[in-house]
Amino acid sequence: MRALKSVLGLPLLHETRLIGGRRRTLAEIITDFLAELRQRAETETGSRFRRAHSGRPVHFHSADPAKDAQAEDDLRACYLSAGFDEVSFLAEPEAAAMACRGMGATDEIGLIVDIGGGTSDFSVFRSVGSSGGRGGGRSASPELEILASHGIRLGGTDFDQAVSMAHVMPSLGLGGQVRREMGEGLLSVPRAPYVDLSTWAKIPSLYTAKTRRMASKMARAAVDPARMARFVTVLELELGHELAFAVERGKIAANSGGDAAHIAMDFIEPGLSETFDAERLDATLADNRSVLRKTAADTLARADIDPENIGRVVLVGGSSLMRFVTDEMQALCPSAEIMRSEAFTAVVDGLALATRD
């Protein structure tokens, strides 16, 4: 289960798939998790919890307001089905700003950069003294003023998909050709199944008799049958998520700058591996890093803040550990100190502070 928020607002959330021996929807999985969380909290504390304060991305769907609204409605419905009577929402970078407000000087302007599994969110904030805020921003607390927030539907699983499509799927037949069933000539191998195989939430949709028959048929007609046979193996043995983990491990290794980084796929075929290093990672994610920098710049523009006036950039979210995120934010805000908060807990820490305040 990765980046489950990315399926909120989509029909995919309510499609059933075989999980744990029975057919279930992702909405049911999210609901069960929230119900378990509530029940454990009640057991530990002896209290009843009927209200929840939940984080959410600035935008679940940055290019579709209707889907964005539906996504919040979907998440609210999961909370209510899990036994909560009421749920409120706070944008995750604003929650992270609350958790990080004591990291720098007061009366300082900062930028929260929250890169998660499926979304990237940004908030411009001003730390102020206890006497109150200045300007026209929304006051998230007596000590913090949120000047602007912005976000896009792009995150770590998208980075994984880009790596997979560029460096792994060609080993399984992507980019190859198959002979026509009728007549002469060659056809390109269809791209769509490989896009699904490199997309976390869509991998199980490939494990059908129809898709397996299609793959076997392509393997028989392939100009390079060995590569296509690997694709057949992945479907037959349901290795899609194992392949996704291998891609993620390769990405992490390359991000650390190791010379021996590679994507190991020996679970598909003995000795199968793709060499992968920091240079190839940077080239593969060039478009993603450009989009992230533009979105951060757009956030500063919405706050009417010159990048030179940013005193600190605080990185949160697991995917903020990618080196290019630091590089792009430093280039955008050259006078800023780049700081790391608790990458995986800053948002929930801020949500807890918000309920206290």
Is position 121 within any domain?
A: no
Classify residue 208 by its DSSP letter: S
Whether residue 112 contacts residue 125, with contact meaning beta carbons closer than 8 Å, is answered with yes
Whether 207 is in a domain gets the answer no
Other C-beta atoms closer than 10 Å to the C-beta of 183 total 6
Query: What residue numbers bound the domain in which 79 lies?
Result: 4-92
Residue 205 is assigned to a structural domain of this protein? no
Residue 276: its pLDDT value, please?
87
Whole-angstrom distance, CA of residue 11 vs CA of residue 285: 29
Q: What is the pLDDT of residue 19?
A: 78
- Give the 3-state secondary structure percentages of the chain, helix then strand then coil, rounded to 5: 50, 20, 30
Q: How far apart are CA 311 and CA 333, in angstroms?
A: 8
CA distance 331 to 293: 9
Domain annotation covers residue 159: no
CA distance to 263, 279, 281, 324, per residue, from 286 (Å): 19, 11, 8, 9
Left, alpha or beta for 300 (phi > 0: left; psi -120 to 50: alpha)?
alpha
Of 158, 133, 172, which Cα lies nearest the Cα of 284?
158
- The pLDDT value recorded for residue 55 is 94
| Region at 157 (left for phi over 0; alpha for psi -120 to 50; beta for the rest) | alpha
| Residue 341 identity (one-letter amino acid) | S
Q: What pLDDT is attached to residue 135?
A: 44
17 in a domain, yes or no? yes
pLDDT at residue number 259: 62
Beta carbons within 10 angstroms of residue 283's beta carbon? 9
Hey, is 320 helix, strand or coil?
Answer: helix
Give the pLDDT score at 106.
62
pTM for the full predicted model: 0.85
How many domains is the chain built from? Answer: 1
Residues of the chain where predicted confidence (pLDDT) is lower than 70: 1, 102-106, 129-142, 258-260, 357
Q: Is residue 8 part of a domain?
A: yes
Is 307 among the domain residues?
no
The answer to whether residue 266 is domain-embedded is no
- State the burial class of residue 63 (Cβ atoms within 10 Å of its Cβ: 0-12, 13-18, 19+): exposed
The count of C-alpha atoms lying within 13 angstroms of the C-alpha of 94, restricted to the half-sphere facing its C-beta, is: 24
